[in-house]
Structure 1
């Protein structure tokens, strides 16, 4: 069963995404801030990290950078954010993000994109 680490500070979005992926058969580990998310990255060994950009303590861009710097596994990273500015999207990809989805988003679209990332 693939494991997702979801780093999202909006409790409603976190719960909705968590429930969707549990129904899809994933194991989901949640974090409400970037600092805790990076700690869980080390202890949980996820297959996919879904991170918001605007997070308490540590930004989503710092999370993307940390995933690439401190893991030797191929972890897929999907950034979900209300910030659709081109330079922010570009920076996320330069740091190692595999996909970027702008809020608001469809849970079904997110699930399709995650499954596609796991196949590649």
Structure 2
């Protein structure tokens, strides 16, 4: 499948992480959209219908876990990768998987590893 047709939504409020993600994804030809808070993300997902969502767990207004839950209930074909800082609770990782997250990557992440995981999911 042609990556040019693949849409990736980044849900992240850390500008540095957004820039890194945009850089590596654009280089691969993905179409990128960014939401900096959970409410904005939930409003835009039905409009954009991304193939993949990369969401951080700790995000303003709605948590990454709430976003994962919403996507998996309403848009089961959208793949989701959760990003989380190493200091966050282990049970958050478990909860993300229980909600149906497709993959989980600790921050700071290795861009090449993230790209491989994205390609595997798409």
**Shorter-chain TM-score: which interval?**
over 0.9
Alignment of 1:1-120 (within 5 A): 1-71=5-75, 73-82=76-85, 83-118=87-122
C-alpha separation in 2, matches of 1:84 and 1:33: 19
CA RMSD of aligned residues (A): 1.1
Distance in 1, Cα, partners of 2:32 & 2:51: 10
Which consecutive unaligned segments of at least 5 residues does structure 1 have?
Answer: none
Contact persistence 1:84–1:102 (CA under 8 A):
no
Deviation at 1:108, TM superposition (A): 1.2
- Output the TM-score relative to the length of structure 1: 0.93
Cα distance in 1 between the residues matched to 2:19 and 2:47: 21
**Aligned mates of 1:51, 1:103 — CA distance in 2:** 12
Tell whether the 8 Å contact from 1:52 to 1:81 is kept in structure 2 after alignment. Answer: yes
Give the C-alpha shift of residue 23 in structure 1: 0.5
The count of aligned residue pairs is 117
Measured in 2, the distance between the counterparts of 1:51 and 1:95 equals: 13
- State how far apart, in whole Å, the 1-side matches of 2:103 and 2:53 are: 11
For residues 18-58 of structure 1, the C-alpha deviation after alignment (integer angstroms, 9 at most, x for no partner) is 11101101001101011111111111010000000000000
Q: Distance in 2 between matches of 1:4 and 1:40?
A: 12
Runs of 4+, deviation exceeding 3 Å:
none
